[in-house]
Structure 1
Amino acid sequence: MTTSSTPSATLRDEADPPGSAQSGPSRPGITLAIIAVCQLMIILDATIVNVALPDIQKDLEFSGSTLSWVLNAYALTFGGLLLLGGRFGDILGRRKVFVAGVLLFTVASLIGGITPNGGLLLVARALQGVGAALAAPGTLALIATNFAEGPARTKAMGVYGGVTGSGAALGLILGGVLTDAASWRWVFFVNIPFGLAIALLSPRFVRESERHPGRFDLLGALTSTGGMALLVYAFINAASEGWSDGVTLACFAGAIVLLGAFLLIETRAAQPILPLRLFRNRDRAILLGAMLFLSGNLTGMFFFLTQFVQEVLKFSPIKAGFGFVPVAFSLIAAAGVVMKQLPKVGVKPFMLTGSILATGGMVWLAQLDAGSSYVGGLLGPMLLIGVGAGFFTVPLTIVAVAGVEAEDAGAASSLLNVATQVGGALGLAILVTVFSSSAKDELANPPAGLAPADLPAHLLAVGSANAFWVGSALALVSVVAVVFARPKDVPTDAASIMAAVG
């Protein structure tokens, strides 16, 4: 659920250009507002659409499985192109790429708001992801460019961190308010005035960063993103057409070819988008893999429960939005505990506790049925998962950048965001496949005596519960991964923690 944009390691390596951050921006309040609002837009867009999903499904006639692409189209392009977006900023200038990304994001939001059909909405969501991948790496780096190290930068980082931490919860609330008061289309239209203001004001109030010569690894970005998109589509197509379907098999084969090509390209590229040497650190590789599973579960939880509370519990969109706020605030509270106690407790105990709590929350959600209530059936497991995610992600942010050479620091810390986005898309695809297969089987053999009017709620509950059982198994893999990880040389002093998590 969290989408912290760019690595703080990049911030530490960013040199203050002469006459720039050292002297400070002429209007620091406006400069910080521009950067913070952009970060907020990117964070909001990861959750603001969730509450609107049932209305989008009805208006644009999405099926249960294809609806997940409203989330996945954004996550795949954002996560898949994030490293390339950072490289663009390094070479072309971060402000220039930042503005280009914001403009693309804004145009895509307009298209999403006026779209007459589901296909065009998915295109708009993919373009939003591309825009976010270009803009996100600049948000944190431009703070370093525009604010001198010391109190000014510390204050700016505090605002940035507050926006990042609260953005997911604000997205859920705002999505509910806009959908309830106007229409789901306003979850896209709301980005337009802010995007235009950022694009117009940035050249005047945000200083450009120093450029660094380099090469673009376009083939690496395209093969990795294309391979993951085919893999996700293969799972979703299998839910509706079967595992032996020709399209399903072709997509799996294409994903293997493209992802294999990506690995080959990265071993030979002069400046790879993803330096494979980062995975020589066994513990970093294991724990990033664990993050793939946990982020998929978190995305799946929001996807299914958003529909459950509105279709089964009959929550209004705004009530549904507020209904998920406890998850966001429990995650934020848990992250705060980690920040304070990590120097005493260490990395592994928090990560192990977090993964166990998240797994327990998924097992609890797997007990869901059409008679479950919000307080009795949903609130408890959501709080467990929120606390678990907070305990897990903050230490992982530190592990991701620990011991990395300066030239790889940006890629290493961006890798966590990539794992979150791509893991969310892939995990959701797997859970949607389970959901669709379970609902299809239940529809063929409904319980005796079930009234036709109660069938949709029953199918949604049964499919979601089975998806959560599979999610529990995936979460358990993350627990095993943490058990076998032995992170060493990880700084746990307060200063290093603050630097790592931004």
Structure 2
Amino acid sequence: MTTSAHSISTENDRSRWLALYVLCGSMLMIVLDATIVNVALPAIRSDLHFTPASLAWVVNAYLIAFGGLLLLAGRLGDLVGRRRIFLVGLALFTAASAVCGLAVNQQMLVAARFVQGVGGALTSAVVLGMIVAMFPAPQEQAKAIGVFAFVASAGGAVGLLAGGVIAQAISWHWIFFVNVPIGVAVALAAQRLVPADKGQGFGAGADVAGAGMVTSALMLAVYTIVKPAAEQGWLASETLALGAVSLALLAGFVVRQRYARSPLVPLAMLRSRNLVGANLIQFIGAAGMFGAFFLGTLYLQNLRHYDALQIGLAFLPVTICMGTLSVRYSERLVTRFGARTAALLGLVLMAVALVLLAVAPANASYLTRLLPTMALLGLGAGACFPALIGLAMDGVKPHQAGLASGLVNTTAQIGGALGLAALATLSSTRTHHLASSGRSQDAALLSGYHLAFWIAAGLIAVAAVIAAKLLTRPAAASPTAADAIAADAERTLVSV
């Protein structure tokens, strides 16, 4: 290799890593937004005169659009180009953030939050596909996915801290305004650093009916979870009716994929044990973790009497441990022991941490009881989620990378929403029952939180069993998206 070729190779390598940080910056902005809003809800309610019931739509409008469109957004990336979909989503998210910050009434804010969810889905659904394409070598890919997983998983804890600072120091409007300069900077950097890709195009036909069915099913499922299930209960007539319609739409979608000329989700993809197993584990694991984080926040607020800033600081060890393991050591773990073993180790650590929360007293010392628990949660997530993402993307064909990326995000979001609604409902039901029977408010709250933590630990344990039974060691098989990009890079280098 000539000196010129070597310098070009070094520059290309530097550009790839800069592009990774740009993509992760967009993901951090989106993940932060999902949690930072929760901290500012009391101020938003007071300023725009929301009722307690209508205030939930500030969160639900975003979740319905985001969770419902992820799978379709990933497939659109394969068809028209992942960078193009990424930039369109980023533009929508940034513009909608500005409108949210300028909102002067409830309708304006809720509508802008829905558009934010659309932009967030388009942006985040294709990120993994682009990362896999840019980093074809297994060792580099593991490291890159570790960085992404840290940002995607730890952003929630950072959001709690940032939300507390911004809401208390300035105003709730700025939790949306801060997205505008970040979004513009990320878009400009992405146009320069993220390589353009050419989609398959719509020439072979697109499964429009299937896209409509699965998008409607997912949106209806998220709506059912966050509205009637959370407010009326899981056995309420409206919950059961809407749930049945959502399942019927999903069943119809699966049948259509079997016979459609150009299916949105080729069923052959589901023959991969690692893809199915990793997404199933992510669905169950997210259900446990999202619910645990939410109930952990309530535990610190209602029993330990922490304010928003203190809660953010309390969760900071989760972020630090997760980041250290994900960015510095997940690649070594996966390379040395395999993704399956790393995922299993992480699940065990998370289960232990949740059991410790399930037996923590109301006056638990932060330094001796809660800090070690937070550290275990962070270490477990840092070992598990990068390995799961790598397994979910293993063996994916070049033209299906966006779809696989959207599927990974969809299982995490739907699982998280379902787990949050279920654990919060079960916890509050137990608390209400005990308080009605004469128990003190603190004792009733603690018992409700303990129940939720035990269930979350059980979910993680089930995920560990699935990992042990279903996941396999990734094998070098037919050409993947990474292989195709590597071949293109090699041809380019040779021509230079």
Matching of residue 392 in structure 1 with residue 377 in structure 2: no
The 10-residue stretch of structure 1 (192-201 or 372-381) with the greater mean CA deviation from structure 2: 192-201
Among 190, 194, 206, the alignment partner of 2:178 is 190
Among 295, 309, 314, the alignment partner of 1:304 is 295
Quote the residue 1:416 is aligned against.
408
Quote the residue 1:269 is aligned against.
260
Quote the residue 2:29 is aligned against.
41
The aligned amino acid for 1:434 is: L
Relative to structure 1, is the Cα distance of residues 352 and 91 closer, same or farther in structure 2, using a 3 angstrom cutoff? Answer: closer
Residues 374-405 of structure 1: CA deviation (Å, up to 9, x unaligned): 33443333222222222212222222233334
Quote the residue 1:231 is aligned against.
221
Matching of residue 470 in structure 1 with residue 448 in structure 2: no
Quote the residue 1:342 is aligned against.
334
Matching of residue 328 in structure 1 with residue 315 in structure 2: no
Quote the residue 1:7 is aligned against.
none
**In the aligned structure 2, how far is the partner of 1:201 from the partner of 1:349?**
36
Residues 80-119 of structure 1: CA deviation (Å, up to 9, x unaligned): 3233223334444445433321222123323433556767
Among 251, 272, 277, the alignment partner of 1:281 is 272
The percentage of counterpart residues that share the same residue type is: 35
Cα distance, 1:160 vs structure 2: 7.4
Q: Which has the higher helix share?
A: 2
Residues 462-488 of structure 1: CA deviation (Å, up to 9, x unaligned): 433222222222222112212212404
Cα distance, 1:364 vs structure 2: 2.0
Matched-pair contact (CA < 8 Å) for 2:278–2:389: no
Quote the residue 1:180 is aligned against.
168
**In the aligned structure 2, how far is the partner of 1:212 from the partner of 1:71?**
35
Quote the residue 1:437 is aligned against.
429
Matched-pair contact (CA < 8 Å) for 2:129–2:402: no
**In the aligned structure 2, how far is the partner of 1:118 from the partner of 1:394?**
39
Aligned residues: 464
Unaligned runs of 5+ in 1: 1-20
Name the SS of the counterpart of 1:184 in structure 2: coil
Relative to structure 1, is the Cα distance of residues 31 and 383 closer, same or farther in structure 2, using a 3 angstrom cutoff? Answer: closer
Quote the residue 1:11 is aligned against.
none
Relative to structure 1, is the Cα distance of residues 358 and 197 closer, same or farther in structure 2, using a 3 angstrom cutoff? Answer: closer
Cα distance, 1:302 vs structure 2: 2.3
Relative to structure 1, is the Cα distance of residues 164 and 443 closer, same or farther in structure 2, using a 3 angstrom cutoff? Answer: same
Cα distance, 1:219 vs structure 2: 3.8
**In the aligned structure 1, how far is the partner of 2:425 from the partner of 2:105?**
23
Quote the residue 1:479 is aligned against.
464
Cα distance, 1:294 vs structure 2: 0.9
Matched-pair contact (CA < 8 Å) for 1:439–1:462: yes
Cα distance, 1:191 vs structure 2: 1.0
Unaligned runs of 5+ in 2: 1-8, 486-496
Among 233, 248, 252, the alignment partner of 1:257 is 248
Cα distance, 1:268 vs structure 2: 3.0
- Normalising to structure 2: TM-score of the pair? 0.77
**In the aligned structure 2, how far is the partner of 1:497 from the partner of 1:325?**
34
Residues 110-150 of structure 1: CA deviation (Å, up to 9, x unaligned): 343355676765544432221022223565777899x9999
Residues 156-199 of structure 1: CA deviation (Å, up to 9, x unaligned): 96997599377555434322221221233322221123334555
**In the aligned structure 1, how far is the partner of 2:271 from the partner of 2:145?**
33
Quote the residue 1:164 is aligned against.
151
Q: For 1:75-114, what aligned pairs fall within 5 Å after superposition?
A: 75-114=63-102
Matched-pair contact (CA < 8 Å) for 1:83–1:274: no
**In the aligned structure 2, how far is the partner of 1:337 from the partner of 1:181?**
36
**In the aligned structure 2, how far is the partner of 1:148 from the partner of 1:353?**
25
Quote the residue 1:126 is aligned against.
114
Relative to structure 1, is the Cα distance of residues 435 and 105 closer, same or farther in structure 2, using a 3 angstrom cutoff? Answer: same
- Normalising to structure 1: TM-score of the pair? 0.76
Matched-pair contact (CA < 8 Å) for 1:83–1:273: no
**In the aligned structure 1, how far is the partner of 2:472 from the partner of 2:122?**
32
Quote the residue 2:493 is aligned against.
none
